Amino acid sequence: MPDRTSLRIVLAFDYGMKRIGVATGNALIGSATPLPALKATDGVPRWEQITALIDQWRPDLLLVGLPLNMDDSESEMSARAARFGRRLRGRFGIRCELMDERLSSFEARGALVGTRTTTGMIDSVAAQLILESWFASRKMSPDPGSV
């Protein structure tokens, strides 16, 4: 398991049934950048696209947004996102963490107001926001949970 000093590149995913937003970030400087969203069919991604991302970015950690309800309870989408995280870890052998992503898509839409955007762009900006929130939380919490 990578420690703080070896953790550098993180790939974040905003899991969805039709699209999966993706962002990459550098843990050393705490910056994140959205990447093109991936298409999914009923929540199933094109795994070869994720393999290509893993090969390109060589992440030390994978992060999946966990869509909790406003009362902190889990939903069917929470279970699906957690399952996606477990599959990522199982397929690629890379540590995967879940991060509360409540309102990330809403915030992404707000951040993109007035710009020409596509829905996939909203999903990837949501992944960027999830990753930036994770970076901020690591400054306060030394050891977040893994899947």
pLDDT tier, 1 (very low <50, low <70, confident <90, very high otherwise): very low
Tokens of 105: 């898509």
Where does residue 41 rank: exposed (0-12), middle (13-18), buried (19+ CB within 10 A)?
exposed
What does the pLDDT read at residue 15?
95
Tokens of 89: 């870890």
What does the pLDDT read at residue 107?
52
What does the pLDDT read at residue 84?
97
Structural domains of the chain in order of their starting residue, each with its CATH number: 9-140 (3.30.420.140)
Note the helical H segments in the chain. Answer: 47-57, 76-92, 104-111, 119-140
What does the pLDDT read at residue 100?
86
Q: Average pLDDT of the chain?
A: 82
Would the pTM count as exceeding 0.85? no
Secondary structure of residue 55 in the 3-state scheme: helix
| 100-130 pLDDT, tens digit each | 886 545 454 455 445 555 555 788 888 999 9
